[in-house]
Amino acid sequence: MIKIYANWKDYPMSEWRWPSFSPQEIACRGTGRLLVVPYAMDKLQALRDRVGKPMIVNSGYRSPEHNRAVGGAKNSMHMKGIAFDVRMDNHNPADYIAAAKQVGFTAIGTYPRQGFVHVDARGSAASWGDPFPKRPATPDFAPEPPRTPVPTPTAPASSPGWFASLIAAILRIFTKG
């Protein structure tokens, strides 16, 4: 059932089924209201699972007044709870867009100057925006060999005389001269 919550804190957490996201990050940034459309959230979670990296959601649901305040489109999919703007800081945009299409997002908007991609689950295909510049591939680093612990001389605290030995060693260091 689709319902608008006056505040994201009102959403019953026992019903929240998207482990990679919280109601707070999907809620309207201007009003705190939350509209959850399960099929859109299912796609968002599937996208997160497919890319295998955290996703920073700039904007999920937007109330009409917040949408106007930020200059959003008059019929923005954000107001319907089926759109998400995600930062590309830790994603290759081309790979991210391909994954978004694979999980069923039908509209893709690219905003390279602002560093995010808009995805939404409207009924028809749509795309807009400028392409992101090509990014150099992140090199595959060779796995680091296991480190061998360096043994350090220690005496168990329970052994007799350990404290006296420690004091004697310290005195030797400071009395050399």
- pLDDT, one tens digit per residue, over 73-82 is 999 999 999 9
Is position 40 within any domain? yes
Q: Answer for the pair 11, 5: CB distance below 8 angstroms, yes or no.
A: yes
pTM for this model (two decimals)? 0.75
| Residues 6 or more apart in contact with residue 20 via CB below 8 angstroms | 45, 48, 49, 54, 55
CB neighbour list of residue 90: distance below 8 Å, 6 or more residues apart: 53, 54, 56
> How far is residue 169's CA from residue 154's CA, in Å, rounded to a whole number?
13
Residue 119: strand pairing partners: 84, 108
Domain range for 19 is 4-129
Nearest to 76 by CA among 2, 33, 126: 126
Q: Is residue 62 part of a domain?
A: yes
Q: How many domains does the chain have?
A: 1
Environment class of residue 80 by beta-carbon count within 10 Å: exposed (0-12), middle (13-18) or buried (19+)? middle
Residue 176 falls inside a structural domain? no
pLDDT at 96: 96
User: Is 70 among the domain residues?
Assistant: yes
Res 63: pLDDT: 97
Which pLDDT belongs to residue 142?
Answer: 60
Q: Tell me: the pLDDT tens digits for 145-160? A: 766 676 666 555 556 6
Q: Which residues of the chain have pLDDT under 70?
A: 1, 137-144, 146-148, 150-160, 177
Tell me if 61 is assigned to some domain: yes
pLDDT score at 72: 94
Distance CA 171, CA 152 (A): 20
Sheet strands (E) in the chain: 4-5, 34-35, 57-59, 83-87, 107-111, 116-120, 126-129
In a domain, 14, yes or no: yes
Residue 174 included in any domain: no
CATH number (domain holding residue 26): 3.30.1380.10
The answer as to whether 27 is a domain residue is yes
